[in-house]
């Protein structure tokens, strides 16, 4: 079974600083994908970044980067140069392979508040 764990319920970060959001996962499938989503107070789910289990390099998308450590089963999100608009809930998610098919499972989320 797939499992995603986000151990940080909430955190503060100073504007313009970097912040790392932790995510660990558990799966027995060799092929899987890892995602991060942002949910601002308005409620929509915004896709940020994707990492495939066979990707050799860490994914980056603008100010977002994913620190993928396969042996440790972790996929931490790094947001560089935080902005006030980064204040939101952040969810880590995993797409399984094999019997899990295209199923996307979410962690519990981390609330980030950026301070001016």
Angle at CA 44, nearest 5°, toward 32 and 8? 60
Q: Which of 3, 16, 70, 103 binds another protein (CB under 8 A)?
A: 103
Q: How many angstroms separate the CA atoms of 109 and 96, rounded? A: 19
* Of positions 11, 24, 29, 50, contacts another protein by CB under 8 A: 50
CB atoms within 10 A of CB 50: 15
36 makes contact with another protein (CB under 8 A): no
Strands 33-39 and 46-52: antiparallel
Given a contact cutoff of 8 angstroms between Cβ atoms, the answer to whether 6 and 108 are in contact is: yes
- DSSP letter, residue 63: T
Q: Among residues 11, 73, 78, 106, which is the contact residue for another protein, using CB under 8 A?
A: 106
Instruction: Return the residue of 7, 17, 20, 45 that touches another protein, per CB under 8 A.
Output: 45
Stretch that binds another protein, among 14-22, 69-77, 78-86, 89-97 (CB under 8 A): 89-97
Structure tokens at 77: 């999100």
- Among 13, 82, 88, 95, the residue binding another protein under the rule CB under 8 A is 95
Positions in the binding site for another protein (CB under 8 A): 33, 35, 37, 43-45, 47, 50, 52, 91, 93, 95, 97, 101-109
């Amino acid at each position: 079974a797939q499992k995603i764990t986000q151990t940080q319920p909430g955190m503060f970060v100073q504007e313009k600083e970097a912040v790392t959001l932790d995510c660990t996962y558990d799966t027995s499938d060799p092929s899987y994908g890892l995602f991060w989503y942002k949910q601002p107070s308005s409620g929509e789910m915004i896709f940020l970044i994707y990492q495939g289990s066979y990707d050799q390099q860490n994914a980056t998308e603008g100010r977002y980067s994913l620190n993928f450590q396969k042996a440790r089963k972790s996929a931490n999100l790094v947001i560089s140069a935080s902005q006030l608009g980064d204040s939101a809930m952040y969810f880590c998610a995993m797409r399984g392979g094999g019997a899990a098919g295209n199923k996307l499972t979410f962690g519990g989320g981390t609330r980030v508040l950026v301070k001016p």
